[in-house]
Amino acid sequence: MNRIKLHVHKGDQVEVISGNHKGSTGKVLEVLARKERVLIEGVRMIKRHLRKSQDNPQGKIAEREGPIHISNVKVVERSEKAAKDKDTKGKAATKPKAEKKKAAPKRKNAKEES
């Protein structure tokens, strides 16, 4: 299984650039890579009605963040972890690699030469 590469990481500060929540900013809580969606703190709040239970004797309307497609989001500020990872990857890629010496071609049989 291949890892999906995305421009947004957990903890980044992002801005919504299109859609109903355009202009909203917040911190990325979770990245759903397979669905190409992100959960942003305080953006696209969804209400869910919960029935009565032992935990909620009166019932409850729970609010939580809904997913937004990753293409509608722009990074404003990288999280420290994501920035550190990007720096180390960049340095490793720019180091010159040691040149490999080519081996001499192998001979098949001594009989074929004579």
CATH code for the domain of 50: 2.30.30.30
Residue 113 lies in a domain: no
Q: Which domain holds residue 65?
A: 1-81
Contact 34, 1 (CB under 8 A): no
Lowest mean pLDDT, pick from 4-8, 28-32, 88-92: 88-92
Under the banding of pLDDT at 50, 70 and 90, the label for residue 72 is very high
Sign, Cα dihedral of 50, 53, 56, 59: positive
Residue 36 lies in a domain: yes
Strands 37-40, 25-32: pairing is antiparallel
Residue 39 lies in a domain: yes
Residue 105 lies in a domain: no
**CA separation for the pair 26, 69 (Å, rounded):** 15
How many structural domains compose the chain?
Answer: 1
Share of the chain above pLDDT 90, in %: 64
Residue 101 lies in a domain: no
Residue 8 lies in a domain: yes
Residue 95 lies in a domain: no
Residue 106 lies in a domain: no
Residue 106 confidence (pLDDT) above 60: yes
